[in-house]
Amino acid sequence: MSDGVTRLRLLTPARLGPIELRNRIVKAATYETRARDGLMTDALIAWHRELAAGGIGMTTLAYCAVSPAGRTFADQIWMREEALPGLRRFAAAMHDEGAKAAIQLAHAGWFADPRASGARPVGPSRAFSPHARTWSRAASEEDLAGFTDDFARAAALAVAAGFDAVEVHVGHGYLLSQFLSPYNNRRTDRWGGPIENRARLPREVLRGVRAAAGARTAVYAKLNMDDGFAGGLEAHDALAVARLLEGDGSVDALQLTGGHTSKTPMYLMRGDSPLPALFARDPSWLRRTALSLLGARLFANWPFEEGFFLPGARRFLATLRTPLMLLGGLNRLDTMERALEEGFAFLALARALIRRPDLVRAFAAGEITESGCTHCNACVAAMGHAPTACILREASSPA
């Protein structure tokens, strides 16, 4: 290994609140479609174990619903005592490979699927949810208190399972992001209107999670910088939210992201549209009909750019003291190194690591300088229908 390679910034250890990661690469949460009956499986552990063995500092178990009503898919893990044994096996397996284990806690809110949750979806305001194919109801004060309790209870379970970090999903148009977004939040009470009111629920949830997590577990939020469309959350309001969270002292870091699942999914994904593959995979004739009518606009091609969230993230870097995780189109070693030189504390990678689970070890060995991901988004199309995987890896695997 050459001296130049050993001095890579991404290979240096770094602290995330009370924990230390062996390097600065975090596997960002991407729904794995490997859970069953809301519980852990050996296949899900094995998928993340390969990532951990590949050298990353921390991997993130994606979308664990804080209650059964917060699910988007029927098999999705939801946090309860019954899930603890599997979660413990997961965390232990990551530790065996030298990586830290994070868990993403979330609630789908407005577009939770009633077929999975068994309940009518609930969000900031009453609205028709195309995903749920029904009208959501506006959250009551009792609902809002329950959300905070559910997130805190889920965080306590994650700590009991041995997770090193808890990620709270405040992005992509999920429940907490819905409260931030004027598109979803049309309330006129203390939970709506100015950004300080719209930020009230995410702040209360994060304070509750922080208290439940204790002093030995890191807590960070996945926060939208903007929703990617007119009428959604804009950058100046997102920056105000970030400042409020920093003032609260509830997070050890922020993972910066963008896009709204039900409005601008390609703003987050960038690259080729997954629409043809989505249409082919979806068993529901009703959803296929909806995709044929609306999909071309919802999943329009959005040109890929290396490090596409970097320009927006620089505004947060210039203002905040809170450590930041940069996400979005990080495929090349030189892009990653420059981002760390600018002051980002961690790099959150998704598709690049789906393409090359051994990416960090390959970088360290000087074997490659980029992941090889083509941004075809076939892995995205699989989510919820088949185990998430890279078709380029599958094509190169022995028969």
Output the pLDDT for position 1.
36
Q: What is the pLDDT of residue 291?
A: 55
CA 351, CA 129: separation in Å to the nearest integer? 28
- 3-class DSSP state of 199: coil
* pLDDT score at 274: 65
- Within 8 A by CB and 6+ apart from 10, the residues are 23, 24, 25, 333, 336, 337, 340, 347, 360, 363
CATH 3.20.20.70 fits domain 3-260+306-394: yes
Amino acid sitting at position 318: A
Secondary structure (3-state) at 360: helix
Residue 21 phi/psi, 5° resolution? -95, 145
- For 38, 95, 152, 317, the CA distances from 41, given in Å and listed in that order, are 10, 17, 24, 38
Q: How far apart are CA 365 and CA 8, in angstroms?
A: 11
- Residue 133 is encoded by which pair of tokens? 């194919």
Residue 166, strand partner residues: 103, 219
pLDDT given at position 289:
58
Domains in the chain: boundaries: 3-260+306-394
Task: Tell me 105's DSSP state.
Answer: E
Q: Which of 63, 174, 183, 220 is catalytic?
A: 174
User: Residue 155 carries which side chain, given as an amino acid letter?
Assistant: A
Q: Is there a catalytic annotation at residue 174?
A: yes
Q: What are the two backbone dihedrals, phi and then psi, of residue 365, each rounded to the nearest 5 degrees?
A: -80, -5
Q: pLDDT by residue for the chain (399 residues), tens digit each? A: 334 444 899 999 999 999 999 999 999 999 999 999 999 999 999 999 999 999 999 999 999 999 999 999 999 999 999 999 999 999 999 999 999 999 999 999 998 988 888 889 999 999 988 777 789 999 999 999 999 999 999 999 999 999 999 999 999 999 999 999 999 999 999 999 999 999 999 999 999 999 999 999 999 999 999 999 999 999 999 999 999 999 999 999 999 999 998 888 888 888 876 656 554 555 555 555 555 555 556 666 678 999 999 999 999 999 999 999 999 999 999 999 999 999 999 999 999 999 999 999 999 999 999 999 999 888 887 777 789 999 888 666 544
What is the pTM for the complete model shown? 0.93
Given this model, what pLDDT does residue 5 score?
41
